[in-house]
């Protein structure tokens, strides 16, 4: 779907409405997250729809190393040859040298995420391994996006900001499915870090917010995040 000129979103309803994003700044395509292993074709179809080819991909960026976000990475890397970027604390999961840290098995709100928690902990599905080409850090620029270190959901969770377009890619720090929430409690590995990360994201002057699960917010993104900040204080 077209979020705004040069900004495209696509999702998979079977994996908690996980979303990937394409950003076209006129210099090439930057891809953030790649859905499940069987979903690379969805990104390829979207590229064709907007008149682009896999070789137009210049950057493949991972917000974090959960399978629903990185499954299509190997196929896109193969077709594009583009470098893969992630935080170093997620890299050995992406390369399949380590499994992702287990999350809570308790059914937290929203309860519709509980099966996803159990599936992650049981390691029910695998992803094709990919080596990360470059570790990224706070303030790095990748294509049009500036890196914002936003741990809590996972140790190396990243967000990204396109200041010229007022676009925030929040990863799983913000979810809009099944309801708007500042992250899913059942998946937070460190609640204190998550609170701090979301408060930092709320300070950014973002109009569009691209969420990790659920459709993006096409307008008023920062206002929605700021209005929901009291929710963070109620997290156990």
148 — pLDDT class (breaks 50, 70, 90): very high
Residue range 14-69, pLDDT digits in tens = 789 999 999 999 999 999 999 998 899 999 999 999 999 999 999 999 999 998 99
Residue 124 has pLDDT above 70, yes or no: no
Between 22 and 119, name the one with better pLDDT.
22
Range 155-162 average pLDDT: 98
Report pLDDT for 219: 97
Range 182-206 average pLDDT: 96
Question: Helix 73-80 to helix 40-49 angle, to the nearest 10 degrees?
Answer: 50
Residue 138 has pLDDT above 90, yes or no: yes
Range 189-216 average pLDDT: 97
Report pLDDT for 236: 66
Range 157-163 average pLDDT: 98
Report pLDDT for 235: 79
Residue 172 has pLDDT above 80, yes or no: yes
Counting the structural domains of the chain, the total is 1
Residue 109 has pLDDT above 90, yes or no: no
Quote the mean pLDDT of the chain.
94
Q: Residue 40's domain spans which residues?
A: 2-233
Q: What is the CATH number of the domain that holds 58?
A: 3.60.15.10
Between 125 and 175, name the one with better pLDDT.
175
Between 124 and 67, name the one with better pLDDT.
67
């Amino acid at each position: 779907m077209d979020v705004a000129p040069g900004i495209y979103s696509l999702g998979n309803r079977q994996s908690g409405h996980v979303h990937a994003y394409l950003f076209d700044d006129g210099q090439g395509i930057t891809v953030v997250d790649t859905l499940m292993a069987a979903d690379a074709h969805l990104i390829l179809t979207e590229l064709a729809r907007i008149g682009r080819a896999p070789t137009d991909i210049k950057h493949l960026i991972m917000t974090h190393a959960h399978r629903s976000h990185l499954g299509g990475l190997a196929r896109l890397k193969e077709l594009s040859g583009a470098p893969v970027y992630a935080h170093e604390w997620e890299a050995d999961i992406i390369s399949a040298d380590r499994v992702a840290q287990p999350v809570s098995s308790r059914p937290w709100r929203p309860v519709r995420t509980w099966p996803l928690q159990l599936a992650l902990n049981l390691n029910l599905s695998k992803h094709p391994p990919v080596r990360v080409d470059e570790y990224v850090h706070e303030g790095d620029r990748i294509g049009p996006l500036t890196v914002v270190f936003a741990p809590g959901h996972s140790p190396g969770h990243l967000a990204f900001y396109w200041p010229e377009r007022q676009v925030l890619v929040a990863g799983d720090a913000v979810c809009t499915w099944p309801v708007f929430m500042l992250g899913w409690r059942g998946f937070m590995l460190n609640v204190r870090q998550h609170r701090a990360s979301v408060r930092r994201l709320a300070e950014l002057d973002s109009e569009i917010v691209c969420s990790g699960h659920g459709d993006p917010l096409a307008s008023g993104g920062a206002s929605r995040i700021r209005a929901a900040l009291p929710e963070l204080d109620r997290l156990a």
